[in-house]
Amino acid sequence: MPYKDFSALNATTRLAELAGIPYDLTRPDALNVDRFKTLKSSACGFDLLFATERLDEAVLDALQELADEAKLVEQFMAMKRGAVLNRIEGYAGEERQVLHTASRDVFTEEPQAPEATTKAKQELEKLRLFLDDLAQGRLVNAKGESFTTLVQVGIGGSDLGPRAISLALQAYTLPGREARFIANVDPDDTAAVLAGLDLSRSLFVIVSKSGTTLETLTNEELVRSALTQAGLEPKQHLLAVTGEGGPMDDTGRYLASFYMYDYIGGRYSATSMVGAVTLGFTLGYGALMEFLRGAWEMDVVGEKVDIRSNLPLLMALIGIWNRNFLGCPTCAILPYSQALSRFPAHLQQCDMESNGKSVTRQGRAVDWKTGPIIWGEPGTNGQHAFYQLIHQGTEIIPAEFIGFRRNQRGLDIEVSKTTSQEKLVVNMLAQSLALAQGKEDDNPARRFPGNRPNLVLIAEQLTPCQMGALLALYEHRIAFQGFCWNINSFDQEGVQLGKVLATKLLHIVAHSGTKGQGATVATSVEEVLLEQAGILR
Ligand code: G6Q
């Protein structure tokens, strides 16, 4: 499929014209009932309320033209069917298919990429049997006791998504089960996680697609040595999730191994075995499948051509409107749900590693803006922290609020005639309106300029299925934006240079003869850095 550059798309001219006078949200009648009714789109249990964005029907029509002209849905379908999209024409690269959707296309008789889905089904079946062995007491520790804890050891894509989702769904954890995570090569991270653990009743799943990641391999050794010191046989406690045939694919070292495939990028791997093993352990196989079903349902929504009913595409285009036409450099993800506290961190990786690019899929420099800076924290906490800048700072920061009408755990209290959940949701809606409308005041310090674009995503409750849909919604939003910007959203060359230099420096430190403990190491590393500054050139 021939790709057009973003700036060569005709619709961008019309959008640039419209951006000259964007919808004024501060006008007295700007936010009327009709607008709230019309600028709303729903799918998979989510309502997307976008009346508080600086757009109108004319902008939406132009965004539809943009989507059609850039063939965004066609590209999405090509992705789902296994086109080799992870590539830069004429240059060396990963040259891979992009098939994370295949890991959940297991609910239909006609999967889009049958071969990849068959493999996904095989791994799911392997996991189901493994979980069954645990549940039925066929798989126990040396003393015949059940395993209570699963520690996921992995980093980047092998950590952030699974960790965020596991935290989000903690309320649904099976009795007597828990998950923990180790990512950083900082030994204190591992030490802190191991500190409170009964190692004899813990399993560790070492997750590394490549099987070569420094942090993960180092932490695996730390875990192995802790198990040995506790008088336990490491192999009886270690599982692996890795690429088939890769360096970690070694049944002699692990109790069980699960596979992921090179056509699933790390940051898109939460619905593969990378996330499934831990989620299956804590939630059970049934809830894991509900999570996958939610993602699959959103995958299907992503196929719709009409932007008003394709939630991920609509969000992608609203993001492009804010980024490329209203000139906003960042986007805040603000979940009004403590359970989603790590979800912004996951999206930060998924979005910034995918769309933090400045060359096209033909290897030319882009002359338009690509991915924004993604960040965020849960509300209402953020209201007492950084919202000041969002309301009155000099940068316009589009905000995406995510909330739920009902809480997960049932515990709540009515104080001053409203429940805590009501307070949470009302605060979210109040922030959305305040950012949009602003407020005049004679006192300039108390003036709120308004016209700060934002949207609200709201669903009934954060269930496993709803979490799956939310995950896929953002995954596809990111992919659609990358397609539109004509960049390769699926490689991550930008993380290589630092890794290569660290490896060189570690080699030097290992052979420098000045190795020691604590401050001595720090000093020698600094010296080496100074001495070896030439490596950078
Ligand atoms: C994600 C990236 C990156 C990767 C980690 C871990 O898309 O590729 O974050 O997930 O570097 O890689 P391994 O799973 O190979 O250890």
292-310 per-position pLDDT tens digit: 999 999 999 999 999 999 9
User: Is-contact 93 61, C-beta < 8 A?
Assistant: no
| Residue 522 clears pLDDT 70, i.e. is over it | no
Answer whether 243 contacts ligand 1 (Cβ < 6 A).
no
Hey, which of 205, 207, 492 would you mutate to test ligand 1's pocket, going by the most ligand atoms within 8 Å of its Cβ? 492
At position 81, the amino acid (one-letter code) is R
Taking all residues of the chain, what is their mean pLDDT, rounded to a whole number?
A: 95
User: In angstroms, rounded to a whole number, what is the distance separating the alpha carbons of residues 264 and 271?
Assistant: 10
425-468-183 Cα angle (round to 5) = 95
Per the listing, tokens 């336990």 go with 232
pLDDT of residue 537: 41
**Probe ligand 1: pick from 206, 267, 351, max atoms within 8 Å of CB?**
267
Q: Is residue 284 within 6 Å of ligand 1 at its C-beta?
A: no
Cα 25 to Cα 17, 32, 345, 443: the distances in Å are 18, 10, 30, 21
Distance 156 CA to ligand 1 centre (A): 5
Q: Could you tell me the sign of the dihedral formed by the alpha carbons of 423, 424, 425, 427, in that order? A: positive
Per-residue confidence band for 525, with pLDDT thresholds at 50, 70 and 90? low
Q: Is the CB of 437 under 6 A from ligand 1?
A: no
**pLDDT band at 510, cuts 50/70/90?**
confident
Measure the CA–CA gap between 401 and 423, rounded to whole angstroms: 15
Each residue's pLDDT tens digit, 49-79 = 999 999 999 999 999 999 999 999 999 999 9
Which pair of tokens denotes residue 177? 């089960």
* DSSP structure class, residue 192: H
Q: What are phi and psi of 446, to 5 degrees?
A: -105, 15
Lowest mean pLDDT, pick from 135-139, 317-321, 488-492, 522-526: 522-526
Phi and psi torsions of 4, nearest 5°:
-95, 150
289 pocket-lining for ligand 1 (C-beta < 6 Å): no
Active site residue 353: yes
Query: Whose C-alpha lies nearest to ligand 1, atom 11?
Result: 156
pLDDT grade for 526, boundaries at 50, 70 and 90: low
- Burial class of 377 by CB neighbour count within 10 A (0 to 12, 13 to 18, 19+): middle
Strand partners, 419: 414
Kind and range of the H or E run holding 483:
helix 464-485
Cβ-based neighbours of 164, under 8 Å, separated by 6 or more:
340, 342, 343, 345, 346
Q: Is 175 left (phi over 0), alpha (psi -120 to 50) or beta?
A: beta
On the question of a cis peptide bond just before residue 251, with omega within 30 degrees of 0, the verdict is no
Q: What is the pLDDT of residue 499?
A: 87
531 pLDDT band (50/70/90 cuts)? Answer: low
DSSP annotation of 439: B
Give me the catalytic one of 37, 143, 384, 511. Answer: 384
| 258 in Cβ contact with 458 (< 8 Å) | no
Q: Report the 10 Å Cβ neighbour count for 122.
A: 11
CB of 354 closer than 6 angstroms to any ligand 1 atom: no
Q: CB within 8 A of 1, min separation 6: which ones?
A: 71, 74, 75, 78, 83
Distance (angstroms) between ligand 1 centre and the Cα of 306 equals 34
Q: How far apart are CA 219 and CA 190, in angstroms?
A: 7
Q: Has 391 been annotated as catalytic?
A: no
Which run of H or E residues covers position 78?
A: helix 72-80
**216-259 pLDDT, tens digit each:** 999 999 999 999 999 999 999 999 999 999 999 998 999 999 99
Measure Cα distances from 324 to 90, 411, 419, 456 in Å. 28, 43, 40, 21
pLDDT at 534 over 80: no
Distance 35 CA to ligand 1 centre (A): 43
pTM for this model (two decimals) = 0.95
Q: Which helix (H) or strand (E) holds 73?
A: helix 72-80
CA distance 53 to 435: 10
Check residue 519 and give its pLDDT. 46
Q: How far is the centre of ligand 1, averaged over its atoms, from the C-alpha of 165 (Å)?
A: 17
The span from the CA of 532 to the CA of 537, in Å, is: 10
Centre of ligand 1 from the C-alpha of residue 537, in Å: 27
- Comparing C-alpha atoms, which of 149, 151, 161, 207 is closest to residue 342? 161
Distance CA 209, CA 259 (A): 8
